[in-house]
Structure 1
């Protein structure tokens, strides 16, 4: 089974540190599951 994540920033404003945290967490979870 393939493990996939999705990073979907909100279109309501500019990117901020919370978006970076979410992107890093998605990346790390996918790597941990060989995704």
Structure 2
């Protein structure tokens, strides 16, 4: 995959990536109190 193809792929999937990152971030907050 060329750099341009990768950039286009990331652009198309940015909304999905943001959603997944948001879910992971909220999940990390949920479990953080178990790690103390």
Unaligned runs of 5+ in 2: 1-5
Q: TM-score, structure 2 length as denominator? A: 0.52
- Which has the larger helix fraction? 2
Please say which structure displays the higher CA radius of gyration. Answer: 2
TM-score by length of 1: 0.53
Q: Give unpaired runs (5+ residues) of structure 1.
A: 1-11
Structure with the bigger RCO (C-alpha within 8 Å, sep 6+) is: 1
How many corresponding residue pairs?
A: 24
